Structure 1
Amino acid sequence: MPGSLQSVRLQSLRWRLLRTVCLASLCGLALTATMSYWQAQHEAEELMDGHLAQSARLLLALVRDNEAHLGDLATRLATVRSNEENLYEPPLEFQIGGGDGALLLRSEHAPPVDLSAPAGYTDIEHDGQPWRILSLVAGSGDYRVQVGQSIALRDRAALEVAVQSILPIALMSPLLLLLLYYSVRRGLKPLDDLTADVAARSPDNLMPLAGRRVPTEAQPLVVALNRLLFRLRATLDNERRFTADAAHELRTPLAVVRIHAQVAQLTADTADRQHALDQVLAGTDRATRVVEQLLRLARLDPLARLPTSSEINLAELAQRVLADTQVPANRPGPRLQTRGTPLSVSGDGELLEIALRTLLDNALRHTPDEARITVFVRREAGEVALAVADDGPGVAADELPRLAERFHRGSEAGGDGSGLGLAIAQRIAELHGARLEVENLAAGGFEARLRWPRPAASVLQRG
């Protein structure tokens, strides 16, 4: 477990960002230090070459002023010889000759280079060590001077200069990394606050996260989390509602079934026993229907869109549903008919059949015998409608807005429905981008319909 936590930490945004920024900064510092080193070394060598040229000119001037005392000049120059331990003053070796190249004067460790060599800088080998030599000729041509320094000593001095130039960069690197760490930590603090907010929440706290102080880059994450919280809250609400609805609706039919079962168990009269058993069957049928409708609602509520979608011919769907509808044998039954034009919508055929069967079943349960029930497929004001109309008593006007509420049944309803049919039809309409409308007809009767807006429907052409 600790290993897995460490792995998660290493993969955190903070450490990944710190690692990337620090590596990039170190690479930049290393590149800067390298360029500074090379530049400082080059400038140090240029400076030493300039020192050689200046020393050569001074020697020429001293020789011309001390032509009669060259021996004494050599002694005096030996006394001002620099110390090899001083990196910034490497020993200067020299040779002085006449215009013809004849040697007149030389220092103790000067490399034996021909004085007649062309003027300028040259690198030579002396005693296994590289040397930098500058040959210079007086303007009058009567004297020649050679000055030289050990390249190894020059390199040591150049290295020291280069190291000193990059030392501030090396010393600033740890401070820069600390500043980067502090900056990244402070910059990601809103994400830490967001994490703390989520971690401190209880399981039943599904309120949206506050995104006012969250960086712009994290706003899509907050929006996605809020959408997820909204869906979770809707799912939990649906589950709670389903549980409450099931408990509420099943309590009565199950109690009735139990009472009639006890009556059938205790009564000795055959007719009373048969009546009680019939009531048990009727109560069981009602409980089964309630459970089926509750399960259907539980399946429809979580859907954000249709499971499948295809072009549905509403006229054919109405004829198919009407042909499969059976009127109970113990009643004359209303007269069923269908009217309409071949219109089509995009949707799920199975769900639309359920919606139409629900509206038709609702009409059958609340319409008196010998009434007429008509299924319409028509176009109204450019919109497509699938409607079920009857010439029954209708519904009280003040109850129309509540008919689609779950478990609400009209006060004058004569059937034994559960009050879930129109709620199911309304949910199916929502999934299809349609709306459920109910109204009392002016000539008497009641109509419930699904209406699609214009963009969602199209006319199905037939020959």
Structure 2
Amino acid sequence: MKASSLNARLILVIVWVIVLSWLAVAGVILMQFSLNQTSTSDTELATIATQVLRTIPADATLDGEAGWEGLQLGQPPGLDLELLLFQIWVDGQRLYAATPGAPRSPFKPDFGDGLASTVVDGKKWRVYSVTDGAGRVTVQAGNPQDVVDKDMRDAAGHALILATALLLIVAAAMRFVTRNAFQSVRTLSQAIRQRKSLDFTPLPMDRLPRELHPFVASFNSLLQQLDEAIEGERRFIGNAAHELRTPLSALQAQAEIALSATDPQDKEAALKKLLAVAERSTRLSEQLLDLARIDAGAKAPRHAPADLAGLVQHVVQEFEVYASQNRRSLYLDVHPCMIRCDIDEIGILLRNLLDNAMRYTPEGGNVLVRCGYESLAGLGRAGEVYLEVSDDGPGVEAAERQAIFARFHRAAGTSGRGSGIGLSLVAAIAKSHHATINVGAGLEGRGLMVRIRFPGIKARHG
């Protein structure tokens, strides 16, 4: 679906509001003027008829037909008799006088007092009739209905023109306000486009409307995250280049020694060292690739229920031959326990824990791998699943145990044995699985113990 402009949407809403408002105002004006104009016209007719009746002298004989020219009337206050149409009837039968333009037939044939709409000689009239107290003289004032309608239309038209002008002024003002409101957004957009690449400086908010502050604050937070991510990648590339430089140089040196050696024993020794360096380089490359993949989120985590005990047994089998060849004892103490996890990442986590334990445990040493549900008497909450790897090697000082999970960190006195990447991988994977890490003394109070607690799915007792 194509995204629409917020400014265009606002303008469309304003247009619709103006149109609907104009229609509503027009309806109200037409209805109000129709009622008012009819009421005003009727009032004028009643006033005219009453005033004309009052101006007829009481002693007038009203014999014959005076006609308009022969009618002597006093001027009613506030009325112009020259513009009025009315009739004077005597005894309900004889037209005594009428204004020019008035029909010869009575406006109201029944001569009843009051207002009425009639048709005289095929023309519609609005009339008012009033009779004197003696019931002899009747005055009927009339106004053509088309004149009433025209006056109403003219007045309503003027009112609509005024209302339209006012609404147009309001529309122009609203347009100006919306355009001015979006000016800060356009300025901000232009400032973003003019930025250099990898410029993650926070956007200023001092001149922006308060309504935009949450959006810009979220954008600034994203910029900060990107800045931290880019900086992390820079450090990673620098550290990775440094870490790879040493084994690559060693590979080249051992290869040159092996090629130049003439004694078979010297050649064999050089080849063995070359193989050891190649294995270390391979392991370092694998760790760097795993770390880069997890950091970049190249693979979306696919967490599914899995039996941690089965995963542990599978991975430990890979290290049994290594442990035997290097004269180290590897023990298992696992119990069925279910967690939601990415199986590949848990495999990476356990391999790095075992690799770390095997490297730092001396010949004749022991490594113990355990997993199961935490009990109520344990260190964790009931229902949590734990994975623990312990050894009886040299261990790590208590003050330094949390630092070993930082990238490329090596504990004091252990340089050359590892790359400082394995445990940082463990920490990253544990975080993605909402797991916690505890570090303590290893077997019989010696060495190192790393315990990871996962949210369990369902505890199994017995």
Q: Assess if the C-alpha contact under 8 Å between 1:366 and 1:414 holds in 2.
A: no
1:405 counterpart residue number? 406
Distance 1:327 1:358 in 2: 16
Given candidates 380, 394, 401, the residue that maps to 1:382 is 380
3-state SS in 2 of match to 1:113: coil
How far 1:340 sits from its partner (Å)? 4.6
After superposition, give the CA deviation of every residue in 1:309-362 in whole Å (9 maximum; x if it has no partner): 344444333333222324349944201111254444443333222212211111
Q: Assess if the C-alpha contact under 8 Å between 1:425 and 1:436 holds in 2.
A: no
3-state SS in 2 of match to 1:389: strand
Distance 1:442 1:386 in 2: 15
Q: Is the counterpart of residue 205 in structure 1 residue 206 in structure 2?
A: no
3-state SS in 2 of match to 1:203: coil
1:256 counterpart residue number? 250
How far 1:206 sits from its partner (Å)? 2.8
How far 1:158 sits from its partner (Å)? 2.3
Q: Is the counterpart of residue 36 in structure 1 residue 36 in structure 2?
A: no
2:97 counterpart residue number? 105
Q: Assess if the C-alpha contact under 8 Å between 1:395 and 1:412 holds in 2.
A: no
Q: How does 1:278-357 map to 2 (within 5 A)?
A: 278-303=272-297, 307-328=301-322, 331-357=325-351
RMSD of aligned alpha carbons: 3.7
Q: Flag the 1:21–1:459 CA change in 2: closer, same or farther, 3 A.
A: closer
Q: Assess if the C-alpha contact under 8 Å between 2:14 and 2:171 holds in 1.
A: no
Given candidates 113, 131, 137, the residue that maps to 2:131 is 137
1:371 counterpart residue number? 365
2:163 counterpart residue number? 169
Q: Assess if the C-alpha contact under 8 Å between 1:334 and 1:370 holds in 2.
A: yes
Give unpaired runs (5+ residues) of structure 1.
1-6, 82-87
1:461 counterpart residue number? 460
Q: Flag the 1:132–1:314 CA change in 2: closer, same or farther, 3 A.
A: closer
Distance 1:97 1:290 in 2: 124
Distance 2:402 2:392 in 1: 20
Distance 2:28 2:216 in 1: 45
Percent identity reads 29
1:419 counterpart residue number? 420
Q: Flag the 1:135–1:458 CA change in 2: closer, same or farther, 3 A.
A: closer
Distance 2:176 2:201 in 1: 32
Distance 1:321 1:89 in 2: 117
1:434 counterpart residue number? 435
After superposition, give the CA deviation of every residue in 1:415-448 in whole Å (9 maximum; x if it has no partner): 6432211111111122222233334448453123
How far 1:227 sits from its partner (Å)? 4.9
Give unpaired runs (5+ residues) of structure 2.
none
How far 1:287 sits from its partner (Å)? 2.3
1:85 counterpart residue number? none
Distance 1:116 1:256 in 2: 129
Distance 1:327 1:90 in 2: 128
Greater shift after overlay, 242-251 or 412-421?
412-421
Q: Assess if the C-alpha contact under 8 Å between 2:390 and 2:449 holds in 1.
A: yes
